[in-house]
Amino acid sequence: MSRVFSFLLVAALVMLPTITTTEAADPPIYEPPTYVPEEPCCDGGKWYIRGDVGFGVHGTPDVMQGPALAFREDWASTYSIGVGIGRRLGRHGRVDVTVDHRFESNITEIDTGNFTGSVGLSSTVFLLNAYFDLTEYYGFTPYIGAGIGVAYHDLGKITKNGGPVSVIEGATSWSTAAALMAGVSYEINAGLMLDAGYRYLYLGRAVSGTLTDIGVNTFVTEYNDLVAHEFRVGLRYEMGCGCYQ
């Protein structure tokens, strides 16, 4: 019995280094959790579409009737509707092209002969705009922007309540346009933004048809320095991502 015990003891002592070495060579396998980095929301640019409605309050234009300057001008308020397509340039920058139609509103004036005139003016405005989005705060993102482009004016017949001329024919014309904007966007859903803001819109000038005054002087009526203060609200959908999550 003692021989058997001695044999088992010697065998255990011989096998112990092998067991220890095997255990040291094969530690428990530990697999760390897989880390998947989050992709930037809109880094690299995403296309978007937009639609807006607006209400415009106008400044006082300068009205030139031939060589004479009219006075006591007034330009009624009007509404506008517009669409656009744009692209985001990284996190803070974006550009778009917009087309807005401004519905007809009346310009009234009293000329130097104390005769009252009235004309309807509608305009379509094409702008290339650039914006800078500031830091997002609780889903709200303020922005500033500027735009440059052209305006297509449709001036109706000018009617006067007295004097030798009662009607001056209307005309269409093109003019330089520019804009300054400030507002705030709010993300309603992934990529769908509610946009509200103010736009200062410069519309250049609009001209009437040609008038020959008593067969001697030929001239047009010019409406210069057309300016609008617009308050606008709209939706912007950024395709492929939610940019303010």
Closest CA to 127 of 79, 86, 89: 86
Average model confidence (pLDDT) for the chain?
Answer: 81
- Domains of the chain are 47-238 (2.40.160.20)
The predicted-structure confidence for 158-215, as pLDDT tens digits, reads as follows: 877 766 666 788 899 999 999 999 999 999 988 899 999 999 999 999 998 877 655 5
pLDDT value for 65: 75
Chain CA centroid to CA 100, Å: 11
b/e map of 54-81 (b: 16 or more CB within 10 Å)?
bebebeebebbbeeeebeebebeebebe
pLDDT value for 82: 97
Question: With 50 as the cut, is the pLDDT of residue 244 above it?
Answer: no
The residues, any chain, with a CB within 8 Å of residue 22's CB and separated by 6 or more, are none
Q: pTM of this prediction? A: 0.75
The residues, any chain, with a CB within 8 Å of residue 109's CB and separated by 6 or more, are 63, 70, 71, 72, 73, 74, 116, 117
Answer with the residue of higher pLDDT: 17 or 207. 207
Q: Do the bridges between strand 116-133 and strand 158-160 make them parallel or antiparallel, or are there none, so unpaired?
A: antiparallel
| Ordered alpha helix ranges (H), the chain | 2-25
The predicted-structure confidence for 74-95, as pLDDT tens digits, reads as follows: 899 999 999 999 999 888 899 9
pLDDT value for 8: 52
